[in-house]
Amino acid sequence: MHTFVVRLWLPDRPGALGQVASRIGAAGGDVVGIEILERGGGSAIDDLTVSLPDASLVDLLIAEVRQVEGVAVEDVRPVAADRPSGSVAVLHTVAGLVAASPADRLSHAAGSLRELFDADWVVAMCMDGPAAVAHSGAVPELEWLSAFLLGSEHLDGEHAHTPGDLVWCRLPRRGVALAAGRAGRVFHARERDEFRVLGGIVDGLG
């Protein structure tokens, strides 16, 4: 069996998700997990974890799902069959952060958050200058990132002004900002909330 996460935009109406699940079944797939990432404006954004008997059925799966009125496929990506559900994965991440030594906690956070959010990179950087304290992945130009974060400090609802492919939070006790980015797939409301909460845990643990 092959496992994929299918990110969908669908009408926030009764029965829409059932129709999608029926179409996935018609393509030979089985829905084994559902995560609601965002709701509003009459739409919902969901991650559906789908098991398929053959990876070649992905195109058929997408075609079937698109037959449901108002549904759009944002992204399809393969994942390990034993990948934990979203809430369990977050708990595993928290457990790892708690177990990490204080000296290694930021480095551990960079690696574990990059894995949890399927990010291309994660960096913990000083707020008063473009210096990385810890990172995982190929981090973009720190001068640009530092200027953006500093320029966002005075904004109300600062995260509404953040590019879709970037998520970040302040760790005031440590005097750093924690940021992550990924190309081609935006961060939605649930992911942004989880990132900020996990950043707060890192900061609180010291």
Determine the 3-state secondary structure of 66 from DSSP: coil
| Residues 145 and 179 sit within 8 Å (Cβ to Cβ) | yes
| pLDDT tens digits along 178-206 | 999 999 888 999 999 999 999 999 999 97
pTM of the model: 0.83
| Residues 31 and 21 sit within 8 Å (Cβ to Cβ) | yes
| pLDDT tens digits along 153-173 | 665 544 555 788 899 999 999
Structure tokens at 165: 């492919």
Backbone region of residue 42 per phi and psi (left: phi > 0; alpha: psi in -120 to 50; beta: other values): left
Determine the 3-state secondary structure of 68 from DSSP: coil
Eight-class DSSP state of 185: S
| Residues 47 and 199 sit within 8 Å (Cβ to Cβ) | no
pLDDT tens digit at each of 206 positions of the chain: 899 999 999 998 999 999 999 999 999 999 999 999 998 888 999 999 999 999 999 999 999 999 999 999 999 999 888 888 878 899 999 999 999 999 999 999 999 999 999 999 999 998 777 789 999 999 988 888 888 877 766 655 445 557 888 999 999 999 899 999 999 888 999 999 999 999 999 999 97
| Residues 185 and 74 sit within 8 Å (Cβ to Cβ) | yes
Domains of the chain: 2-79 (3.30.70.260), 86-205 (3.30.450.270)
